[in-house]
Structure 1
Amino acid sequence: MAQWVERFAGDLASAGMPRMPARIFSCLLVSEERSLSSAELAERLQVSPAAISGAKRYLEQMHLIGRESEPGSRRERYRLHHDVWYEAVANRDTLLTRWVSTMQAGLDAVGPESHAGARMAETAAFLAFLRDDLGSVLERWRAFRGESS
């Protein structure tokens, strides 16, 4: 499984995810355990606990993993969110809305008749299209899975 973890982590890194968070995400994805502690992640990935710390924070901020308390201990365990891919895509709606707004502000600043304005208008239109279509894609996924809205 270590080879697979590194392979998928490489795929995620190629798509823009930092390497260590990609390795942790891949490790959690392939783990038979529901959750893993920092020490378990460090051991499986053969890295120091310090290397795990910032990467976990990144994954939490991206809404890809969550933490839970270990019963009878102060230690925390980390797990993938249920339906992690769905949630990751659904959370992009806020990001896309912010980017559309930022592009519009840039367009207002440079003017629609400029070359930069044309690029910003095209970018804003594309991002708005993605944002608006995202809801129907997620609905179709739920229907495919037999889930209700």
Structure 2
Amino acid sequence: MPGGRLTHQDRRHIARGLAEGLTYTEIARSLQRPISTITREVARNGGAGGYRADQAQQATAGRARRRRPISSSGPPATDAPGRDPHAVRDLEEQFTGAMTEAGLSRMTARVLTCMYTADSGSLTAAELVQHLQVSPASISKAVGELEQQGLIRRDRDPRRRRDRYVIDADAWVQGWIVSARRNVTMADLARKGAEIVGATTPAGARLKDVSEFFDHVGRHMIQAAEHWRQTSMSRRTISR
């Protein structure tokens, strides 16, 4: 399928397709683009009911103008030798869109993307502010959410007397386990709720179903994470 950024003509084609009631799949096929490209484009530019080609083009141009070069002390993803800066920025945008769809706020998703595309996997708040061109308060809120979900950790840099945020190889496993534990907590709460309202009542039956579902999902999520961790550790041991 063709790559590269959507053109103004592509966006007009998307707008026509939406007006005609075409599905995202049909629009993507007609443009020979991945469906994810179409869904992200529409989602960040007003949705299916509010998408306007001219406005989407202007918004994209505005985002491009706001991007500034990264200094050598900042995240090295776009500056690393042999990498196409435009391709890396497209990757960052797509990665951010995917994580936003998964439930992260856009700023939190941008910070996590920045962490993943930096070779060091370790950045300070100042470096994140510089790369993303946002306020320190925005970064503070985003890293707080990521720490809470177990996706990054905070290390103290004694040489520079500042915190560094680090993304570990097992970050997603930790985040997955945090999510699994929340499901187990929800299962316990629903089970207690069923006991309080009466297990034989309609409300109690609903809560019992909720409890069984979250208990089932939570336990299997934890088992899957532990299996992956063991498999990953074995693979790393062999590779050494």
Q: TM class by shorter-chain length?
A: 0.7 to 0.9
Return the match for 1:57 from 144, 155, 177.
144
Alignment of 1:37-52 (within 5 A): 37-52=124-139
Letter in 2 for 1:11: A
Which residue number in structure 2 is paired with residue 8 of structure 1? 95
Cα-to-partner distance string for 1:41-95 (whole Å, 9 max, x where unaligned): 1121121222111111111111111111223222111111331111111233432
1:91 partner SS:
helix
Alignment of 1:25-104 (within 5 A): 25-104=112-191
Letter in 2 for 1:47: V
In the TM superposition, what is the alpha-carbon distance from 1:20 to its structure 2 partner? Answer: 1.0
2:234 partner SS:
coil
Task: Give the Cα separation in 1 of the matches to 2:169 and 2:189.
Answer: 31
How many pairs align?
148
Which residue number in structure 2 is paired with residue 20 of structure 1? 107
Which residue number in structure 1 is paired with residue 5 of structure 2? none
Task: Give the Cα separation in 2 of the matches to 1:64 and 1:84.
Answer: 5
In the TM superposition, what is the alpha-carbon distance from 1:132 to its structure 2 partner? Answer: 2.3
RMSD after superposition: 2.0
Letter in 1 for 2:189: T
> In 2 relative to 1, CA 146–57 (structure 1 residues): closer, same or farther, beyond 3 Å?
closer
- The runs of 4+ residues in structure 1 deviating greater than 3 Å are none
Task: Give the Cα separation in 2 of the matches to 1:65 and 1:23.
Answer: 13
Percentage of pairs with the same residue: 32
Q: TM-score, normalised by structure 1?
A: 0.87
In structure 1, stretches of 5+ residues that fail to align are none
Task: Give the Cα separation in 2 of the matches to 1:139 and 1:72.
Answer: 36
Greater relative contact order (Cα < 8 A, sep 6+): 1
Q: After the TM superposition, which of the residue ranges 62-71 and 92-101 deviates more from structure 2?
A: 92-101
Task: Give the Cα separation in 2 of the matches to 1:17 and 1:94.
Answer: 18
Task: Give the Cα separation in 1 of the matches to 2:226 and 2:149.
Answer: 22
In the TM superposition, what is the alpha-carbon distance from 1:103 to its structure 2 partner? Answer: 0.3
Which residue number in structure 2 is paired with residue 109 of structure 1? 196
Task: Give the Cα separation in 1 of the matches to 2:195 and 2:155.
Answer: 45
Which residue number in structure 2 is paired with residue 127 of structure 1? 214
Does the Cα contact within 8 Å between 2:186 and 2:211 map onto a contact in 1? yes
> In 2 relative to 1, CA 40–133 (structure 1 residues): closer, same or farther, beyond 3 Å?
same
Letter in 2 for 1:99: M
Name which one, 1 or 2, has greater alpha-carbon Rg: 2
